Amino acid sequence: MNELIEKLKKQFDEKLAEVSDENSLEKLRLDFLSKKGQISGLMKELAKVPNEKKKEYGQMINTFKQELTEQFDARREELLKKQEELLIRMTESYDESLPTGNPCGSYHPITLVQRELEDIFESMGFNVEDYNEIVDDYHCFEALNIPKFHPARDMQDTYYLTTPNQLLKSHTSAAQNAILKKYGPALKESGRPIRAVFPGRCFRNEAIDASHENTFFQMEGIMVDKDISVSNLIYFMKTMLSEVFGREVTVRLRPGFFPFVEPGFELDIKCLICGGSGCSSCKNSGWLELCPCGMIHPNVLKYGGINTEEDPYEYTGFAFGLGLTRLAMMKYGVGDIRAFNSGDLNVLSQFVSR
- Interacting residues toward ligand DAH by CB under 6 A: 171, 173, 220, 258, 261, 264, 292-294, 319-321
Q: Residue 282 or 319: which CB sits closer to ligand DAH? A: 319
Number of residues assigned to the chain: 354
Cα-Cα end-to-end distance for the chain: 89
Q: Residue 158 or 348: which CB sits closer to ligand DAH? A: 158
Please tell me the distance from the alpha carbon of residue 250 to that of residue 270, in angstroms, as a whole number: 5
Is it true that the peptide bond before 199 is cis, omega within 30 degrees of 0? no
Min. distance of Cβ 324 from ligand DAH in angstroms? Answer: 11
Min. distance of Cβ 293 from ligand DAH in angstroms? Answer: 5
Min. distance of Cβ 140 from ligand DAH in angstroms? Answer: 10
CA atoms within 13 A on the CB side of 111: 8
Residue 92 buriedness (CB in 10 A; 0-12 / 13-18 / 19+)? exposed
Q: Residue 145 or 307: which CB sits closer to ligand DAH? A: 145
Is residue 300 within 8 A of residue 313, CB to CB? The reply is: no
Min. distance of Cβ 258 from ligand DAH in angstroms? Answer: 4
Q: Residue 12 or 294: which CB sits closer to ligand DAH? A: 294
Min. distance of Cβ 294 from ligand DAH in angstroms? Answer: 4
Is residue 304 within 8 A of residue 296, CB to CB? The reply is: no
Q: Residue 33 or 253: which CB sits closer to ligand DAH? A: 253
Please tell me the distance from the alpha carbon of residue 234 to that of residue 240, in angstroms, as a whole number: 10
